[in-house]
Structure 1
Amino acid sequence: MKDRFTIELCANASGDCKVKPLLVYHSNTHRAFKTHKVPKKNLNVSWRANGKAWVTRQLFIEWINICLGRIVKKYLEEKRLPMKGLLVLDNAPAHPLALDKDIVAQYSFIKALYLPPNATPLLQPMDQ
């Protein structure tokens, strides 16, 4: 069986702030969840659907505005840190270059930094 999914992970450098992963599957609900009546809201992932199980620009921006921004803001407030966030991204097609324009105003403190091509496995711990 060729069952495919994509998962996007995100955490801060120290590892004490982990963002709910984005999981993209080819259907809205997995067959096992239907059989056992498992609600997606009980899962520890943000479940999204795409026919090819790829993260698209729209899904990525939605995840930032709904999930990432809220968690980062709460973390910074709890730790009494300045409202500044840096999102380090590789050059995947789902990571839009003009990301700052797509982030909602309340999370505008999050800035995107793009790694040079082919440097991701060397520099980004989540990809090692």
Structure 2
Amino acid sequence: MKDRLTLALCVNASGDCKVKPLLVYHSKTPIAFNARKVIKDKFPVMWRSTAIAWEQEPISHSGKPLFSQTVKQFLEEKRLSLKCLLELENAPAHHPGLEEDILVEYAFIKVLYLSPNTTPLLQPMDQQVISNFKKSLRAQTYPYHEFLKDHFVVVICLKIIDTAWREVSKSTLNSTWK
């Protein structure tokens, strides 16, 4: 199978604000969606499509807020000041000057790029969160292993991703940043 998708995870340091995972896929509306009458607005992920399955704008995509809206809503609900530091690895998908693309209403978001080749050492998400997510993902995928070998069905993947992300506990998220 050569079908691929890209998944980005985002969470705050205290672990109480898990943003829906950002899923980037090559097709805007896969055939499996029509067959199963899938409604994109009810997805457990933020769905984006691009020909190369590589997201280049994690904050906004064609002017649409991705994680920004979730973060602003969380801060307002908790009655916290509108301040956010988005820590990104130094990757080609995260182009320099990303802060300049942020909509005015989300100007409270500041972007920090990690130094090149330091992500595995410094990035808390790489340290524990992503590895725990992958373990859960593998456990969720196992029952479908034989089926997925020959039939990649993105609808099944959405369910697996949702379950795996929900299984990453608040305590894991919080301890990662310590």
> Cα–Cα, structure 1 residues 82 and 75, in superposed 2: closer, same or farther, change >3 Å?
same
DSSP-derived class of the 2:65 partner: helix
**Larger RCO, structures 1/2 (Cα 8 Å, 6+ apart):** 2
DSSP-derived class of the 2:60 partner: helix
The structure with the greater share of residues assigned to helix is 2
Match of 2:55 in 1: 55
Paired letter, 1:70? Q
> Cα–Cα, structure 1 residues 6 and 63, in superposed 2: closer, same or farther, change >3 Å?
farther
What are the superposed Cα offsets for residues 9-51 of structure 1, whole Å, 9 maximum, x if unpaired? 1110111101122111111123322211111111111111112
Match of 2:5 in 1: 5
Give the TM-score normalised by structure 2. 0.65
Q: Displacement of 1:91 after TM fit?
A: 0.9
Match of 1:42 in 2: 42
Match of 1:121 in 2: 120
What are the superposed Cα offsets for residues 46-71 of structure 1, whole Å, 9 maximum, x if unpaired? 111112211124x6532895122111
CA contact (8 A) 1:5 1:23 kept: yes
Unaligned runs of 5+ in 2: 128-178
Quote the RMSD (CA, aligned, Å).
1.9
Q: How does 1:38-117 map to 2 (within 5 A)?
A: 38-57=38-57, 61-62=60-61, 65-117=64-116
Unaligned runs of 5+ in 1: none
Paired letter, 1:12? N
* Identical pairs, percent: 57
Structure 2: how far apart are the matches of 1:89 and 1:64? Answer: 20
Q: Which runs of 4+ in 1 moved over 4 A?
A: none
Q: Displacement of 1:103 after TM fit?
A: 0.4
CA contact (8 A) 1:65 1:107 kept: no
Structure 2: how far apart are the matches of 1:39 and 1:50? Answer: 19
Give the TM-score normalised by structure 1. 0.88
Max Rg structure: 2
CA contact (8 A) 2:59 2:67 kept: no
The structure with the greater share of residues assigned to strand is 1
Q: Displacement of 1:110 after TM fit?
A: 0.5
Structure 2: how far apart are the matches of 1:4 and 1:86? Answer: 30
> Cα–Cα, structure 1 residues 15 and 69, in superposed 2: closer, same or farther, change >3 Å?
same
